[in-house]
Amino acid sequence: MSDVLPGPEPFISQTAPSALDDLRTRLRATRWPDAPEDAGWALGTDLGYLRDLVAYWADGFDWPAQEAALARLPRFRVPVGGLGIHYVHARAVGPAGPVLPLVLTHGWPDSFWRYSKVIPLLTDPAAHGGDPADAFDVVVPDVPGFGYSQRPTGAPLDSIAVAGLWAELMSVLGYERFGAAGGDIGSHVSRYLALDHPDRVVAVHRTDAGIPLFTGDPEELAPEEREWLAEVAGWGAAEGAYAAMHRTKPQTAAFGLTDSPAGLAAWIVEKLRSWSDCEGDIERSFTRDEILTNITIYWLTETIGSSMRMYRANAAIPPAQLARRVDAPSGFSLFQGDVVRPPRGWLRRVANTTYATEPERGGHFAPFEEPESYAEELRAFFRPYR
């Protein structure tokens, strides 16, 4: 019996026609709710918009073409920690000096899709008007239970556990020293990579500082920090119902969202609109094909339930872990259209912040909304740490 563990294997996704036929049948049979006149987006997803999107999903959207486009990325799967991890591994083009590997971690509600536009800008900056010395080797995994990575069959993994998997993945790929970057759940994972693997993570870049935890005397905080904590609490009361569901009873929502593609679209589209820098018009940030590519990945992989369960796992992380300060050099790009953006004083409080900017355009999904700007942020931050 061989003790050699299986290595990375190329990953190709090719959806069976029967799966697409089933999807279209369900879309065409949608039973629509009523809505008050002129409700728009005030109560959640707009009925008229979703009707139009679902009609296009059923009869206009070309998933095989989108699947083929995603297949042009160098995608692989490898066992890590007992789970099959799907990832993109794109190597740098053209640099004369050392190449910095970079692991990028997505959040919810998306997958490796979040970084699909920015990967070529990071691996081959010279082809996009940049300096070839800024090229990265880029690794973009799907978090277990998201996208094409395997779903955990037992308890969901929290961000600390995923960070451990990514450290192992980078070892499998031959990278002992690397940078980490992410947003949303990916910000948490990147943070724990820096905290738990300080000998390997040279620097960490994030597009947010996570949900704040502060248990001390509020008088110790600067006025802008206190104002921000109040803003976060207000945002949670007005916008946080989805997260409360994910943290407490995700399985209840999973039944409907796994069975109804229209329901799944409603759950995801509202967040794409609310969290992006689209000024109320979601198609300023995403085309319909881009929106439906993200949603179709969730539908075909049946991962909406497992993705939501990660919120429950993260809610159980001990406060002492959440309060740890990141000593690794840390960069923050707080895009203007994102939610609950922290003040500079808070960034310095929670991390060894050496870089902080506020790009004018882009929101929560900045790598997809503004890939050129996001790529430049990563190049600028990581340049001293190569």
> Rounded to 10 degrees, what is the CA torsion of 222, 228, 230, 234?
180
Reference 197, options 333, 134, 334, 103; nearest CA is 103
Q: Helices 17-28 and 288-301, interaxial angle, to 10°?
A: 110
Catalytic residue among 184, 208, 277, 338: 184
CB 130 within 8 A of CB 379: yes
Record the tokens describing residue 24, joined without a space: 């279209």
The SS3 call for residue 5 is coil
Cα gap 375→370, rounded to integer Å? 9
Is 242 labeled as catalytic in the residue annotation? no
Catalytic residue among 115, 148, 192, 311: 311
> HSE (CB half, 13 Å, CA atoms) of 151?
12
φ/ψ of 36, rounded to 5, equals -60, 150
Cα gap 6→239, rounded to integer Å? 44
Is 184 labeled as catalytic in the residue annotation? yes
Is 131 labeled as catalytic in the residue annotation? no
φ/ψ of 25, rounded to 5, equals -60, -45
- Count Cβ neighbours within 10 Å for each residue of 159-182 and write b for 16 or more, e otherwise: bbbbbbbbbebbeebebeebbbbb
Categorise residue 350: left if φ over 0, alpha if ψ from -120 to 50, beta otherwise.
Answer: alpha
| Amino acid at the residue 148 | Y
Q: Which residue has the tokens 């997803």?
A: 45
Helix (H) or strand (E) holding 185: helix 185-196
Cα gap 18→172, rounded to integer Å? 36
Catalytic residue among 87, 277, 364, 374: 364
Q: Determine the distance from the C-alpha atom of residue 256 to the mean position of all C-alpha atoms in its chain, rounded to a whole number.
A: 23
φ/ψ of 268, rounded to 5, equals -85, -45
CB 99 within 8 A of CB 136: yes
> HSE (CB half, 13 Å, CA atoms) of 333?
27
Catalytic annotation, residues: 184, 311, 364
